[in-house]
Structure 1
């Protein structure tokens, strides 16, 4: 028996497990990925990549490698059986630094995620290792895997000892079953067939969701000339029919002039699921991605929701592993991620209902959509993707803006001492939401994305002032211990003045010029002059600059940050 020691053992080499492993590796910790297959899955599954996920790939140092397999500004149109557009989803804002939606080729992206682990001397990916046992010993875990030969037969066992284990092995997760947690929800019986072809015979770069009562379908233009179709199978159509070329040609006949001339590169069937684990943690064992939640494919959120899990869990695991936080920080993972995963399942299920309406309900839907398109405000609700629930963490590593109470954050901000400083636009708190990422200027660089300046860990930033102004020596000691970057956002016109003035500050301050006014606009409509940003770029606290010590203390408590001399 061979034994390997690591900090985190990840079960499953899908995109979530590989992203998690890269985020752990890039922060200097050991990670081992165990995968039962002998190679990565080579057929496309996910096709939509959000701006939030791109931001994570940048943190992992892999966006440049992944970008060639994507196409930005993926436009989605919901059409009825006659081809009339009912709604268009074409968000053009780039508040997080990248286009909101991308099409992508998943096997090629997964390949880059796997290759990325080769950058780290203490990261490894082991194919042909099927996990069969797991033990939580209180201070560490052991994971036992069978080594599989080329024929899939067991050829010995390997035991991996680690501080933590994360199950990312999909909907049939061994880890989730070992944890004994529920997997609540439902799986509609409707089956769909996926057909991918090369040399796209349609040629349009858009996505069409065909709400056709005769047979709902999806048509997607993907990178590298690939076109995907998805067709709903009727109850009286056996799954085996998809193996019949004549049946496939009949499905495609309404979409292309000559189905027989197409080169099919992938064909398979699937069923939509909407399920959610009752807990994402048990002791030193966690769930992420499809092991924690399954959702229909309508809005392309299965892949992205898993990446959000990896982003959230990675910084918390590495904070605990590095002695920066106590183990209770890891309890906030379920608190923060489970609710948003449920919200995404619900909105995807609703989208599926709209897609599969029959003739009578479909006519009502079409009339309703036509009326909504006449009202700009409601039309923009779909065009700008406002129906998609953005992650907002109201419990976890947050501090309420009105009271600075750690661990909870109300979305509203209408009462309390700071009420006179709010206006109608500023009564919603930014705490628990992701911070924007415009392009900025510094003394060292011009026109760079904000994340490149603030770095991958904690940030305390103010608008127009010295962030050290109200921090005590004890506060500054906490800042140094936890590598909190102190940042001053400035109008570009004042950057040179601030850079000179803040050289006398009691701690280093990075001055960031705001050339386009994006940061000023953000603070203009929010009742705060200071924000504390978490390593995942979510706002942990927002307050007036004079409240900096209280906000810092509240965040330290919510995140279980260690003090000098503590042992995590």
Structure 2
């Protein structure tokens, strides 16, 4: 038996969630071992949709330039009925987070980019062909026992130890099973045939969801001249038959001029699942990606939900390992991610039920309802701009309530009776939601995306003021202990003045597009405490800054307080 030197985090599974988590932890300087049972990455297409939130995370780990060549932005989706008439169009135009809302992508190439990105970190090791058979957990850490099969068939057992283990092994996750948590939801009996081909015989871009009662289908144009079709299978249609070239050609005769002359990548039957784990953490073991939640393909959110998991989990593990948060912060991973994952599962299941209707009366009612809705601009925009997609909003976790300053919780609305709040145009709290990513100017460069300017850790954003001038010394010291960056956002017209007059160490950003001025003008929260995952932990008027900061630090656990006290040589009170 071989014992391998211990790492801080052990990740089981080199799928997208595991690879992204390893990149995030590597970026923060943590030591990570990734164990993958397969001998190589999966090389066939699976997910086809990449959203703006995921691309923002890819931007954070510095892999945008290697990923973008495998994507196609502004991937328009059209839902059509059996007669080919468009029922609704989904074509969001916003770039709220710095990128187009929807992209088509080739998953094997993007996953490969995530894997190759790990080469820049000497503290990350990936081992293929390692099948984890058992995990032993105690108070100090975890040990995984992995079997390695040699070319001659002999098996060797290797031991890998770490402080924490994250299971990213997919829907059948052994880690989830070891944790003993439920996997609640449904696995509808409806089967689908997926067909991927090279040298796209159509060439039309974007997505068509065919809500045809005779046989619902999907047709998707993908990057690199790949075309995907999916067809709903009826009861009694045998898998060995429906995956044959002859049967597939029959399915494609109404889609392709010559269905017998295609270059197949794969023909495979699958079943949709809609399930969410009861908890994403137990002790020192955590799950992410499909191990934590499975969802149907309709909204293209399976891959993206795994990215959200990694984005949420990476900075929290880092905070524990650096002593700036207590271990209980891992419980906020479940409280913050589970509800949104379930909302995406529910939406995907509902959308699928609309597409696969076969009852003639139900189909007629659906088509009639969509025709009426399309007459109203607000309803049409609801679908076109993708406002039906639930955006993550955390109400419990690493947060401070914007009104009460309560720690670990945040109401969705601002309820203070102060005049700045009463007169505000927007009383929806920004706490618990992702902060926008506009372009800014600074001494670092012109027209930069916000995240590229502020870095990848905690940030305090203050509109129009020097953060050092509006926060007391104790708060500034606490932020220094946390490693937070102090940032002043000003109109571009004031940037030169601010750079000359604001405190040393304060990064001045010029709002040359006016997007930040508009955002702050509508909200009575000119001070923003921004988490490493770009979610707002606290938002307040300047005089409430110290209390808001303290509530955020309290929500990170007892170890954070001990770390601050050690850093300052005394107990901190802000």
With normalisation by structure 2, the TM-score equals 0.96
Show CA shifts across 1:521-547 (max 9, x none).
111211211110000000001100121
Match of 2:318 in 1: 318
Change (3 A) 1:422 1:150: farther
Match of 1:406 in 2: 407
Distance apart, 1:261 and its partner CA: 1.0
Change (3 A) 1:150 1:270: farther
Does residue 559 in structure 1 map to residue 560 in structure 2? Answer: no
Distance apart, 1:148 and its partner CA: 2.4
Show CA shifts across 1:7-26 (max 9, x none).
10000010110111111111
Give, in whole Å, the separation in 2 of the partners of 1:258 and 1:365: 33
Distance apart, 1:419 and its partner CA: 5.8
Match of 2:159 in 1: 159
- The farther-off stretch of 403-412 and 240-249 is 240-249
Give, in whole Å, the separation in 2 of the partners of 1:371 and 1:86: 10
Alignment of 1:51-62 (within 5 A): 51-62=52-63
Match of 1:526 in 2: 523
Match of 1:345 in 2: 345
In the alignment, is the contact (CA less than 8 A) between 2:17 and 2:289 conserved in 1? yes
Q: Say which SS state the counterpart of residue 426 (structure 1) adopts.
A: coil
Match of 1:148 in 2: 149
Alignment of 1:456-495 (within 5 A): 456-495=456-495
Distance apart, 1:482 and its partner CA: 1.2
Does residue 545 in structure 1 map to residue 545 in structure 2? Answer: no
Q: Say which SS state the counterpart of residue 166 (structure 1) adopts.
A: strand
Show CA shifts across 1:493-548 (max 9, x none).
1111111110xx3x521111001111111112112111100000000011001211
Give, in whole Å, the separation in 2 of the partners of 1:422 and 1:303: 41
In the alignment, is the contact (CA less than 8 A) between 2:243 and 2:269 conserved in 1? no
Match of 1:136 in 2: 137
Root-mean-square deviation (CA, aligned residues, Å) is: 1.4
Give, in whole Å, the separation in 2 of the partners of 1:364 and 1:149: 60
In the alignment, is the contact (CA less than 8 A) between 2:17 and 2:168 conserved in 1? yes
Alignment of 1:58-69 (within 5 A): 58-69=59-70
In the alignment, is the contact (CA less than 8 A) between 2:90 and 2:386 conserved in 1? yes
Distance apart, 1:357 and its partner CA: 1.1
Q: Say which SS state the counterpart of residue 257 (structure 1) adopts.
A: coil
Give, in whole Å, the separation in 2 of the partners of 1:21 and 1:180: 25
Alignment of 1:145-544 (within 5 A): 145-150=146-151, 155-358=155-358, 359-413=360-414, 415-418=415-418, 420-423=420-423, 425-502=425-502, 505=503, 508-544=505-541
Distance apart, 1:420 and its partner CA: 4.9
Show CA shifts across 1:340-370 (max 9, x none).
0000000000001100112221111111111
User: Unaligned regions of 5+ residues in structure 1, if any?
Assistant: none
Give, in whole Å, the separation in 2 of the partners of 1:150 and 1:549: 62
Give, in whole Å, the separation in 2 of the partners of 1:411 and 1:474: 29
Give, in whole Å, the separation in 1 of the partners of 2:508 and 2:369: 50
Give, in whole Å, the separation in 1 of the partners of 2:459 and 2:550: 14
Q: Say which SS state the counterpart of residue 6 (structure 1) adopts.
A: strand
With normalisation by structure 1, the TM-score equals 0.97
Give, in whole Å, the separation in 1 of the partners of 2:63 and 2:317: 20
